[in-house]
A and B are shown apart, each in its own frame.
Chain A
Amino acid sequence: MLTFVALASVLLLGIVPEQTEAISIYTGWERHALLGSDVRLSCSFFSWRGTSDDVTFSWTYRPDGSRDSISIFHYTSGQAYVDNKGPFRDRVEFVGNPGKRDGSILIKNLDYNDNGTFTCDAKNPPDIVGRPSSVRLLVFETVPIQAGVITGAIIGVVLGLLVLIVVIYYLMRFLVARRVFSLSVRSVSAGGFCCQGLEERPEPIPGTDTCVAKRA
């Protein structure tokens, strides 16, 4: 009995969640960009600890088809260090905000040789255990189908909903008018008589002769 209680307590203590989850790093999955344009690679992290002053961000780049990766950006101790020797010389700019857990970089004037995988690794001492996250960059010559897909989708959905609502409204009005047709009694001159079931209607349907509208 005692051993059972001991085992149960050990098990319960083990199940109680402690805040020991690792740091989670988020980048995009893929980025499409035009030849010659700029692209912003975003990287943010979530950590159970507050953002310390020693937060570090590092970006590494691995070209398509290669197995080596080189480091192109490092942020530490409040200073950003950009690539000044490699393929991204003078083309990397730090546009993140470490205080807001954002370690994004801007890569300017893209070329076909920039196709590859960019990996962001963020550390927030003492929370340093985490899995770096990668984003794939694809450089296109013409406007890819991706640019504007979201814009078009939002506009299309909202306009479609609008059309649907208008159609439903007129349908309801048509149906109600047909059903009410036999009930509508225009006896406002009698002063006070009104159809049953129509008094609760909050607002008159414009155009139809409901009792509420007549009284108003």
Chain B
Amino acid sequence: MLLILLGVLVMHLIILILLIVSTAASTWSVGGDRTTDLWYTCTNSNGGYHCKPAISEDWLQAVQALMILSLLFCFFSLIAFLFQLFKLVKGGRFFFTAIFQILASVFVMCAAIIYTVMSPDDGSVKFGYAYVLAWVSFPLTLISGLIYIVLRKKE
């Protein structure tokens, strides 16, 4: 039982770290020597390395908001998990934790989908590692949330 709890906690922490990296690193699109989105567009031209703010389009702001929200909800879910671990009645389920975690996964999914559909279609621009991390963290968060639904506090 302790091993399961430890495993679940480690998975939750890994998901939180993935979400932090995906939200903070401005490498959702890379092309040539330019990395862009969500927050900055940085180029490594002959003048050096300089960044300017990313385009302020409506959809990009929505992606920013959804990523931040999913990060917050994952964090709330961690706090709720630790809280419920000590306060839950025997045999109870981690409902709050599961709800927050599943909401976080839904937000990450929405952010990734909006970015995929709306990102400008350019031949030389590919998706960067932050984008991949966002898609990877979506099923992980969902599975983690479902585990919390199934998990019961030991009698």
Contact = CB atoms under 8 A, between A and B. Distances in A.
Interface of A: 32-34, 36-40, 42, 95-97, 100, 102, 104, 106, 143, 146-155, 158-159, 204, 206-207, 213, 216
A207 B89 contact: yes
A100 B56 CA distance: 22
Contacts of A154: 61-62, 65-66, 69
Contacts of B121: 95-97, 100, 102
Contact of B61 (A95, A102, A150): A150
Interface of B: 41, 52-53, 55-58, 61-62, 64-66, 68-69, 72, 88-89, 91-92, 95, 120-122
Given A150-B58, A152-B65, A206-B92, 20 more contacts: A36-B52, A38-B41, A39-B55, A96-B121, A102-B121, A104-B120, A146-B56, A147-B53, A148-B61, A150-B62, A150-B65, A151-B61, A151-B68, A153-B65, A154-B62, A155-B65, A155-B72, A158-B69, A204-B92, A206-B89
B92 A151 contact: no
A37 B72 CA distance: 30
Nearest to A206: B92
A150 B69 CA distance: 13
Contacts of A158: 69
Contact of A95 (B53, B58, B64, B120): B120
Most-contacted residue by chain A among B56, B66, B95 (CB, 10 A): B56
Mostly, the A contact residues are mixed
B89 A155 contact: no
A152 B120 CA distance: 23
Contacts of A95: 120-122
B88 A40 contact: no
12 contacts: A36-B52, A37-B53, A40-B55, A40-B120, A95-B120, A96-B121, A106-B120, A148-B61, A151-B62, A152-B65, A155-B68, A206-B92
Nearest to B65: A154
A147 B55 CA distance: 9
A47 to B, nearest CB: 19
B94 to A, nearest CB: 10
Contacts of A148: 56, 61
A34 B53 contact: yes
B110 to A, nearest CB: 10
A33 B91 contact: no
Contact of B72 (A150, A152, A159, A216): A159
Contacts of A40: 55, 57, 120
A38 B55 contact: yes
The 5 A-B pairs of least Cβ separation, nearest first, read: A154-B65, A150-B61, A147-B56, A151-B65, A151-B61
Nearest to A150: B61
A115 B62 CA distance: 26
